[in-house]
Amino acid sequence: MIEQFHSAEMRPRRRRRIARLVVLMVGLSLSPAHAQQAVPEPPASTEQEAPAQAPVPRSDVSGQPPASETRAPAAGVEAPSKPRHDLSPIGMFLGADPVVQGVMTLLAIASVATWTILLVRSIALSVAKRRMRQALAEIRAATSLSAASVAVPRGAAGALLAAAEAEIARSPGLPADGIRERAQAALSRIEAAEAKRAAAQTGVLATIGSTGPFVGLFGTVWGIMHSFIGIAESHTTNLAVVAPGIAEALLATGIGLVAAIPAVVIYNALTRAVASYRALLADAATLVLCHLSRDLDVRAVGAHRPRQASLHVAAE
């Protein structure tokens, strides 16, 4: 009985539930807006999203901002221009360190001295060699030492002839061999003095040629050291900052080579010219000794003839 009662009571309830489900399904199909409202919305996020950050501009390696971020100058306002270095020789000289300027000035003076010595000694040696050739021709044409002295009164050849005549005058009645030796010694001294006079100032060329590159190198080392000190103080390795100082330092080496190379070439040329002049002096001294020896022999023969004549007269 109890089970029948419960089954009889549950049937109406099931029917009511089924009816409600049918009505609900029909209502959902007929009203889509109501269905959309019935759909549960997703829960709102409790965390707020962080605002997007703007990208940080990055500078290039040299520390300068990118070209896109540089502001164009306003109209009528000139942009500040970077200081430009004068890389001409005079500009680099004026912008160099005082020590490097002193080295450059010294090398420039040495270069001027080199070309001055070339001009002066070339003219002097040319004139001396021409006069010596003329004197040699006169001495060869003369018949005696006194005639040669009259034909060549001046110059190195005239000094040689005067020394030989002076030795003859100082040695009357002495043996001819002693006169020749003393005259030869006097001629050698005159020849050496004339050769030394002809080679004057060539030692300066040798000094400039041997020390010029090292003096210029000293200026270069000093200038590069000064440039590296400037790099350390400015904390930059930009070539626009480093290049002017290095160029000024290298200019010192260039001037040193400009002074040294011509000095070496001119020294060799003048040395050859002096050697040629000394050869002419040696020829002149040899001719003077020949005239001296001939005159001594003539005097000896002349002194011997009167003695033979007196002996011949006494025998008669």
38 token code pair = 């019935």
| pLDDT computed for residue 10 by the predictor | 56
206 token code pair = 């040798």
Helix 155-170 with 98-141: angle, nearest 10 deg: 60
| b/e code 159-176 from CB counts within 10 Å (16+ = b) | bbbbbbbebbeeeeeeeb
Pick left, alpha or beta for residue 201 (phi over 0 → left; psi -120 to 50 → alpha; otherwise beta).
left
Mean pLDDT lowest among 84-88, 218-222, 294-298: 84-88
Greater confidence, 31 or 278?
Answer: 278
Mean pLDDT lowest among 48-52, 283-287, 292-296: 48-52
Who's near 217: CB < 8 A, 6+ residues apart?
252, 253, 256
Q: Is 153's pLDDT higher than 90? A: no
Query: In the chain, how many H helices and how many E strands?
Result: 9, 0
Who's near 209: CB < 8 A, 6+ residues apart?
260, 261, 263, 264, 267
Q: Is 135's pLDDT higher than 70? A: yes
Top-ranked range on mean pLDDT: pick from 56-60, 118-122, 175-179: 118-122
| pLDDT computed for residue 8 by the predictor | 52
Greater confidence, 312 or 137?
Answer: 137
Mean pLDDT, residues 263-292 taken together: 93
Who's near 154: CB < 8 A, 6+ residues apart?
none
The pLDDT tens digits for 222-252 are 888 877 777 777 776 666 666 777 888 888 8
For 134, counting Cβ atoms within 10 Å of its Cβ (0-12 exposed, 13-18 middle, 19+ buried), the class is middle
Distance CA 208, CA 187 (A): 33
DSSP class of residue 97 equals -
Q: Is 290's pLDDT higher than 70? A: yes
The pLDDT tens digits for 166-181 are 988 888 878 888 888 9
Distance CA 110, CA 116 (A): 10
Q: Is 136's pLDDT higher than 90? A: yes
Greater confidence, 299 or 35?
Answer: 299
Residues 149, 162: contact at Cβ < 8 Å? yes
Residues 103, 218: contact at Cβ < 8 Å? yes
Structural domain spans, the chain: 149-302
Percent of the chain's residues with pLDDT above 90:
31
